[in-house]
Structure 1
Amino acid sequence: MEPGAADFKLFEVLEPARQTIPFVYNSPHSGRHYPQEFLESSRLDGVSIRRSEDHFVDELFADAPLRGAPLLVAHFPRAYVDVNREPYELDPRMFTGPLPSYANSNSVRVAGGLGTIPRIVAENMEIYQRRLTVEEGLSRIEQIYKPYHACLRRLVARTHAEFGTAILIDCHSMPGNIRVAGSGLRPDFIIGDRYGTSASAELTQAALEILADFGFTAVRNKPYAGGFITEHYGRPARALHALQIEINRAIYVDEETLERRRDFALLAEILSSFIQRMALYAADLGGDGALAAE
C-alpha cells in the first residue's frame, strides 16, 4: 500500500444492533481522507481534488443502522481508487510500464478518465503531475478495492441468507447542473436499476413514489442508470436487488465551498424516513412474492 493510505481506516461497516430489514446501504464515493503522498502527487489544490466526491452522502444515510440495516462507508476518496468500476479498468496512458493483459483499457469509463484509478476529477481536471508505476495502481486495487468488495459481498450474502432476499441501495450524489436529456428537467433524485435488470420494477417504482411523496422530482435511469456495483450485485431472479440512488448536490451542499447547506439535517431526516418507508414497502412486496426468486 502507498505510504499514508494506512493512516486512517479505509472503510467501515456501521452495523445495527440487530439487522431487522433485508437492506444493505452502501456509500462508496463519500470518502474524504486523502493520503498526504497522494495530495503531493496531484496538480490540484485541496478543494479541486474533492470535486468527484459524493459529499457527505454517508452522513445523509447515517440512520440506516438505526432503521435496521448495515451501512458500508468508504473513507478513501474516489479520486484515489473507484470501487464502482470493474477491478482493472485502467488507462495505460497513466502508467510508466505495461499493464497486465487482463486489464480492461478500452472501456468508455477509461476513455473518459474515470477508470478504477481515475485520471481526472469532475470538469476534466487532471489529477496527477506524473505517471504512476503499474505497481502503485495494482497496490490500490489489491489493498483497497478487493477488500471493499469482499466486505460488500459478505453483507449482501448474509442478508440474503437471513431474509431470503437482499436489497442493496448504492448511495451517490450528482452535480447540481445535471439535466434529463430532451426535457431540461433538473431532477432532485435519480433511481438507477440498469434499465430494469438490477431490481424488480416494483421496488424501483416504490423508491420513485416515496421520493415524490416527499415533494422531490425523481426520475429513473436518466442520465444515471447505475454503475458497476448496481450491475454486478443486482440479480432479481435470485432475489438479489440493487438500486442506485443519486441525490442532486445542490440540494444540500454549496458546490463551490463544499460546505453543508442549512437544511442538510432536514434532508437527512427525510432520507431516514425514506429508509423506513422502503423497508415497509419491501415487506409488503415480499409478502406477495414480488421480491422472491423467480
Structure 2
Amino acid sequence: MADSDWLIVRRGTAPLVLGMPHTGTHIPDDLLPRFVSPWRARKDTDWWIDRLYAFAADLDATVVRTTLSRSVVDVNRDPSGASLYPGQTTTELCPTTTFDGEPLYLPGEEPDEAEIAMRRDRWLAPYHTVLAAELERLRHVHGHVVLYDCHSIRSHMPRLFLGELPQFNIGTNNGVTCDSALEAAVERACAATGRSLVVNGRFRGGYTTRHHGRPETGVHAIQMELACRGYLDEPATPDETNWPTPFDPARAASLAGELRAILTACLDWKATA
C-alpha cells in the first residue's frame, strides 16, 4: 500500500464532516512481523464504522478516514504523547498493549522514541492536516461546520471502564468543543431512541475533538463512541475465531437509522446557528 492510499476523503458540500480515525486494519509489511499476531494487532479496530455510517453520503457529508491500523499509530491521540485522560488507563500514541492489556509486540520489538516520531509525522500529522483543510473549506462556505468523530468499542472492557458502556457516549470535553445547543440536540436525538446514553462520561472526546473543536471560530466538534452491541453481536470472550463479528446490514439497520437522525439533528442545528 502506497502512502497516498491510507487516507480516504469523501468530499461533500453539507456543513458536516465525519472523522473516522480507527476504521483501518492495514499494517505495513515491514511492521507486521513485529506484532504478536495480526489478529491481536487489529483487535481494537472500530469495526465496520465506515459501513455503519455509509448513509452519510446521502446527507452529502464529508468523510475523512484512515485505512491504517490504530496499532501502528493512533491518530486520535495527542501527538506529544500526553494522556488525554490523566489517571485513567488508556493506550499510547503507538500502542504497546490492547485494550485488554495484552502485549501487542514481540519482546524487544516495541517502537522507540525515534520510530514513534517517524510514525507521528508520516501518518498522524497528515491526517489532521487534511481534516483541518476540509473543515476550513466548509466553514468558509457555511460559517459554521460540525465535526462528528465516529468511534465504537466493545460494551464490556473492564480494564478501561466498569460495567456495561452506555450505547451512546457523547463527548465534547465537558462542553468546550461545540456550542451547547448542538450538544443538547445530539443528546435529545440519542434519548429519542430509548437506548442508554451519557454525555462526557468515560469518553469525553479524543485529540480530534479537542484539537479541532473551536466553536468561537465556527468549528464545532463532537465525538460519538458507540457500544458495539448496537450493531454487532459481541462474544463474551473475543478470540480469533469469533471477533470481529461480520457486518450484517440487517442487524445494523436499526442503529444506522438512529444515527441518521442524530446527524440530521446536527444539520438542523446548523440551519439555526
Deviation at 1:185, TM superposition (A): 6.4
Deviation at 1:264, TM superposition (A): 1.8
2:75 corresponds to 1:83: yes
The AA in structure 2 aligned to 1:278 is C
The AA in structure 2 aligned to 1:264 is A
CA RMSD of aligned residues (A): 2.6
Structure 1 distance, partners of 2:30, 2:201, is 37
What does residue range 94-243 of structure 1 map to in structure 2 within 5 Å?
112=89, 114-129=91-106, 130-177=109-156, 186-243=165-222
Structure 2 distance, partners of 1:282, 1:273, is 14
Structure 1 stretch displaced more, 157-166 or 108-117: 108-117
Q: Is the 8 A contact 1:49 1:79 kept in 2?
A: yes
Structure 1 stretch displaced more, 250-259 or 216-225: 250-259
Q: Which runs of 4+ in 1 moved over 6 A?
A: 179-182
Deviation at 1:109, TM superposition (A): 6.9
Structure 2 distance, partners of 1:7, 1:238, is 32
Structure 2 distance, partners of 1:33, 1:218, is 32
Aligned residue in 1 for 2:59:
67
Number of aligned residues: 261
Structure 2 distance, partners of 1:210, 1:108, is 27
Aligned residue in 1 for 2:30:
37
Q: Mark the runs of 5 or more structure 2 residues left unpaired by the alignment.
A: none
2:7 corresponds to 1:14: no
Using a 3 Å threshold, how does the CA distance of structure 1 residues 113 and 272 change in structure 2: closer, same or farther?
Answer: closer
Q: Is the 8 A contact 2:146 2:266 kept in 1?
A: no
Deviation at 1:117, TM superposition (A): 1.2
Structure 2 distance, partners of 1:264, 1:235, is 32
The AA in structure 1 aligned to 2:123 is I
Deviation at 1:196, TM superposition (A): 0.8
Task: Report the identity percentage.
Answer: 27
Aligned residue in 2 for 1:269:
257
Q: Is the 8 A contact 1:192 1:225 kept in 2?
A: yes
- Could you tell me the TM-score, scaled by structure 1's length? 0.80
- Could you tell me the TM-score, scaled by structure 2's length? 0.86
The AA in structure 2 aligned to 1:117 is C
Using a 3 Å threshold, how does the CA distance of structure 1 residues 220 and 250 change in structure 2: closer, same or farther?
Answer: same
